[in-house]
Amino acid sequence: MPTPRALVENKREMFDGMRAYHTSEIAHTQHAIQILLALLAAAATVVVALLFPQTELQQTTLIAWSMTGIVSLCAVGVAFFAHLKISADHRTYANFGREYVATSDALGYYQPLTGSATALKANRNIGQGLGYRWTQLTIWALAAFLFLSTTLFSVLFTWPISSAEPQKKSPSTSCQCCAPSTTPSPSPPPICCPLAR
C-alpha cells in the first residue's frame, strides 16, 4: 500500500501530466489552424491574380483547378493528422485523469469531511470530457471551407471560359452567298444562300 506521501506525489505527477498533454493539444490545434489560414491566404492570392491579372495569363483553367487540388489536398491532410494527434493526446490526458481520481480517492478526498456532508472533491469525471471533439470539428470545418470555397471558385471561374469557346461549324451546314459565275471553274461550286441572292 503506498504511503500518503507517495500518493500525494503521484497525484501531483498525474496533474502535471494532464496539464502537459492539454498544453500539447492546444499547441497542435493552433499549429493546424495557422497552416489552414496560410493555405487560405495562398488561395486568396491566386484568386486575386486570376481575377485581376497584371499581364495576360495562359492556362487559367489549369491554374484555377490546380490551386483547388493543391489547397484541398493540403487542407484535408492537415485536418486528418491534427485529428489523429489530438485524439492521441486526449487518450493520454484521460488516462492521467483516471489515475488522478483514483489517487485522490485513495487519499480520502472524495470522503465527507469530519462534521460535514461535503467532500473536498466531487467530480470523478476529470479528464474524460469531450471538448476535444469540438476542437477537431473546428479544424475539419475550416478544411471543408477551404475545399468548398476553392472548388466553387474554380467552377464559377472556368464555366464562362468553357461556355465561351467558339464552336466549329460543319462544312456541310455552312453557306456562302454567291452570284452566278460566267467562267468555268475546276472546283465544285459553292453552296449558295437562296435568301441572300
Question: Is the pLDDT assigned to residue 109 strictly greater than 80?
Answer: yes
> Is residue 99 domain-resident?
yes
The number of domains in the chain is 1
> Is residue 161 domain-resident?
yes
> Is residue 176 domain-resident?
no
Question: What grid cell was written down for 137?
Answer: 470539428
> Is residue 115 domain-resident?
yes
Distance CA 164, CA 51 (A): 17
Question: What grid cell was written down for 58?
Answer: 495562359
> Is residue 178 domain-resident?
no
Average pLDDT, the chain: 84
Question: What grid cell was written down for 106?
Answer: 485513495
> Is residue 8 domain-resident?
yes
Distance CA 50, CA 44 (A): 10
> Is residue 77 domain-resident?
yes
DSSP letter (8 states) at residue 193: P
Residues 38-62 have pLDDT tens digits of 999 999 999 999 999 888 878 888 9
**Domain span at 165:** 4-170
> Is residue 81 domain-resident?
yes
Residues 24-40 have pLDDT tens digits of 999 999 999 999 999 99
